[in-house]
Amino acid sequence: MSTHNVNPNGDEHAVVPHGEHAVVPADPIADPGLHYYDERLTDVDKKAERRAERQVAGMFALASLLTVAFIVFYVIVGIHPDDPEDGVNIGDVQVSNLTLGLTLGLALFLVGAGAVQWARSLMSSPEVVHERHPLRSDDETRAAALADFETGTEETGFGRRKLIRNSLLGALALLPLPAVILLRDLGPNTGESPGERKQHTIWAEGVRVLTDVTFMPIRAADLEIGQLVNAMPATFEDLPEHGPERINERAKSPVMLVRMLPEDVHVAPGRENWGVDGILAYSKICTHVGCPISLYEQTTHHMLCPCHQSTFDLSDNGKVIFGPATRSLPQLPIAVDSEGYLIAQSDFTEPVGPSYWERTR
Ligand code: FES
């Protein structure tokens, strides 16, 4: 036998005792019908309607102006220096990114915001119930759908509200232009390409090898077996304090010096004199995607990249023995000068860092 409980809202509901089945009424939930349609201000006030229309058109017009501003900023904020020797100025790149991002981002936002405002305040919004039906509608239904579409077109006022329609068409017509303008960046490169810039570093014959950060010259005799030292070329100190050249060389030139027993080194043909008493120098930039590496395992002479675990054998010409890297670590030929300090014999003989499509070596 059922009893009745009262829930916290004061509604009474039946409780079915254990072992009995509840009797489900034939129509347990009455159809609540459609919500009452709340008229909006723009439905009853012509002034409010015109104000909303101007707001929408204003947003579309502003989107057009911002799209034009994008193109203007693209042209006037140049990131390519007149003299290619100067390299790209990082400050110019930041200003260019900021202005292009702001103008295009705001233009897209305003087109979206204008469309939302148009739908919320001006388009008709009665609630409609549509029963599910087979996917292929009969001809009568299709004709009705077409009629509904035409009614909808009429209710949105797309044909009637010329100001909104034209400003939207203008904004949408201009929006693809930035994509077309940006194609210029795929065009022929004036000056040195990024690939060409990676082909060389500031290492050169006779350049001293300095400890990184403290920039002290390194005596070959001071390095112990098993030791690893991060190093930079002495020419790095001559670069201007600020500017792209220093940043680029900071990324390309670091090397790792390691010392191992000379009998552990497997020298490749042509590299017989690239080391000094078991001291070898390798690029510190991983050949996978360019992470700086330093995780050295003394006993195996393996160097592990922390990013994706590429492992290089420094006793075997920097060969890849594990991981996604496909190229050996570039080796820097080194020697000692008359005072016993380590120097480079030349620049790297191949580009350092990750592979790229226009590599020539
Ligand atoms: S960057 Fe070194 S393994 Fe990916």
The share of the chain scoring above pLDDT 70, in percent, equals 86
Bridge partner list, 276: 279
Ligand 1 test: best mutation among 256, 282, 283, 291, most atoms within 8 Å of CB?
A: 291
Q: Do residues 212 and 146 share a domain?
A: no
In this structure, how many other beta carbons lie within 10 angstroms of the beta carbon of residue 287? 25
Domain count of the fold of the chain: 2
Do 201 and 183 sit in the same domain of this protein?
A: no
Report whether pLDDT(22) > 80: no
Chain segment 256-285, per-residue pLDDT in tens: 999 999 999 999 999 999 999 999 999 999
Cβ partners under 8 Å of residue 336, min gap 6: 220, 276, 342, 343
d(CA 94, CA 86): 17
Range of the domain at 137: 41-191
261 C-alpha to ligand 1 centroid (Å): 27
Q: Using a 6 Å cutoff on CB, does residue 325 contact ligand 1?
A: yes
Whole-number Å distance between alpha carbons of 333 and 268: 12
Residue 181 binned pLDDT confidence (cut-offs 50, 70, 90): confident
Question: Do 157 and 270 reside in the same domain of the chain?
Answer: no
- Ligand 1 centroid–CA 223 distance in Å is 28
- pLDDT grade, residue 345 (50/70/90)? very high
Q: Tell which phi-psi region holds residue 148, choosing left (phi > 0), alpha (psi between -120 and 50) or beta.
A: alpha
Q: What does the pLDDT read at residue 193?
A: 65
Please work out whether the CB of residue 324 comes within 6 Å of at least one atom of ligand 1: yes
310 lines ligand 1 (CB under 6 A): yes
Considering 191, 225, 245, which residue would you say is the last residue of a domain?
191
CB distance 257 to 231 below 8 Å: yes
- Give the whole-angstrom CA distance, residue 274 versus residue 210: 18
pLDDT of residue 10: 44
Looking at the structure, do residues 168 and 76 belong to the same domain, yes or no? Answer: yes
- Of the three residues 169, 191, 213, the one that is the final residue of a domain is 191
Q: Does the beta carbon of 307 sit less than 6 angstroms from any atom of ligand 1? A: yes
Tell whether 68 and 88 lie within a shared domain.
yes
pTM score: 0.54
CB of 285 closer than 6 angstroms to any ligand 1 atom: no
Q: Is 304 in the pocket of ligand 1 (CB under 6 A)?
A: no
> With a 6 A CB cut-off, is 291 part of the ligand 1 pocket?
yes
Whether the predicted pLDDT of 32 surpasses 80 = no
Q: 107 CA distance to ligand 1 centroid (A)?
A: 38
pLDDT of residue 194: 64
Residue-wise pLDDT tens digits, 190-201? 566 666 777 789
Mean local confidence (pLDDT), 205-233: 95
Q: pLDDT tens, 120-176?
A: 999 887 777 777 767 788 899 899 999 998 888 888 888 888 899 899 999 999 999
Asked whether residue 52 falls in the same domain as residue 157, the answer is yes
**In whole angstroms, what is the distance from residue 246 CA to residue 202 CA?**
10
The string of pLDDT tens digits covering residues 307-320 is 999 999 999 999 99
Residue 62 sits in the same domain as residue 164 = yes
Does any domain span residue 27?
Answer: no
Closest to 234 in 3D by CA, of 214, 251, 259, 248? 214
